[in-house]
Amino acid sequence: MAQIVDGRVVARESLMALKSRISRLKRPPGLAVIKVGEDPASAIYVRRKTRRAERLGFYQPDDLHLPEDTTQAVLLERIAALNLDPKVDGILVQLPLPAHIDERAVLAAVSPDKDVDGFHAVNVGRLAQGRRSDDLMIACTPKGAMRLLAESGVNLSGAEAVVIGRSNIVGRPMAWLLEQQNATVTLCHSRTVNLQSHLKRADVVVAAVGRAEMIKGAWIRPGAVVIDVGINRREDGTICGDVEFDTAVKRALAITPVPGGVGPMTIAMLMENTVIAAEAHQRQ
């Protein structure tokens, strides 16, 4: 049976480690979480982020829940004001945005030094170039997934890593991070022919597709480390990952559960990015 890499425990440790860094700051870190409209899933994610920030004593500006019919111009004005606000270190715009708003224009409007989600083209470009300064804003989910890989004890240098999914928020940055740790990376996606043949040689599997249990346990190479990023709802309402856990756990060396794996890490890394931004701002 595989080692279960518990994201809740690793997230708790990461958050604990932030407390002493926060206490050394001259003022609390500031995080602005903007939500436009009433998407129910977004509401849950935003609540989790703001609550966690509150518990860490972050400053959070009021009135960032904007109505569905907010124009792009108004949203950009709000972001411009937050970019200039010295109490705000991080700005996060919860996605998806309503269809009438251009997501790219909005993400580009966030100042790169406050881009705690790591989605701005400047931060993505720096990551892709392999520039690893301490204050680089790296997307929270792949950053958290890398921490869980470290926790598993796997040696990434020379390992065969297969990432499934090429989204800008998970798969692509994940592939760059793995390559920078000297893994040999294969990035699979919806047009990949014969996914199983790639998985056969994978020492590390990162699944970020969004399809319930599509990766069968039998496809996992015995002894592989499996990071399951997917969050899916089964027909009976329960939550599962992209990997068929019950069978994969018997073959893998280590595996992350869903829920309780990558999910808690994403929020912990958002808090960490905000502290990193606050430290950088207070050094200036």
Cβ closest to ligand NAD, residue 34 vs residue 170: 170
Q: In this chain, which stretch among 22-30, 63-71, 160-168, 174-182 interacts with ligand NAD, using CB under 6 A?
A: 160-168
Provide the 8-state DSSP code for 215: B
Cβ closest to ligand NAD, residue 159 vs residue 164: 164
φ, ψ dihedrals at 65, nearest 5°: -95, 100
The answer to whether the beta carbons of residues 274 and 89 sit under 8 Å apart is yes
Q: 50 to 79, contacts with ligand NAD by CB under 6 A?
A: none
Establish whether 87 is a catalytic residue: no
Place of tokens 């920078």: 180
Partners of residue 163 on adjacent β-strands: 187, 206
User: How far is the C-alpha of 275 from the C-alpha of 229, rounded, in Å?
Assistant: 24
Establish whether 62 is a catalytic residue: no
Q: How far is the CB of 172 from ligand NAD (least distance, A)?
A: 8
Q: How far is the CB of 215 from ligand NAD (least distance, A)?
A: 9
Q: Hey, CA dihedral for 107, 171, 156, 226, is it positive or negative?
A: positive
Asked if 195 is part of the footprint of ligand NAD (rule: CB under 6 A), the reply reads: yes
Asked if 142 is part of the footprint of ligand NAD (rule: CB under 6 A), the reply reads: no
Task: Write each residue from 244 to 273 as x if it is in contact with ligand NAD (CB under 6 A), else as -, in one continuous string.
Answer: ------------------xx--x-------
Establish whether 19 is a catalytic residue: no
Q: Which two tokens stand for residue 214?
A: 């599509």
Cβ closest to ligand NAD, residue 89 vs residue 213: 213
Picking from 122, 107, 143, 130, the residue whose alpha carbon sits closest to that of residue 276 is 143
Which one of 167, 180, 184, 247 is in contact with ligand NAD (CB under 6 A)? 167
99: burial class by Cβ within 10 Å (0-12, 13-18, 19+)?
A: exposed
Q: In this chain, which stretch among 52-60, 101-109, 113-121, 203-211 interacts with ligand NAD, using CB under 6 A?
A: 203-211
The answer to whether the beta carbons of residues 7 and 256 sit under 8 Å apart is yes
Q: Which residues bind ligand NAD (CB under 6 A)?
A: 141, 164-167, 169-171, 188-190, 192, 195, 208-210, 229-232, 262-263, 266
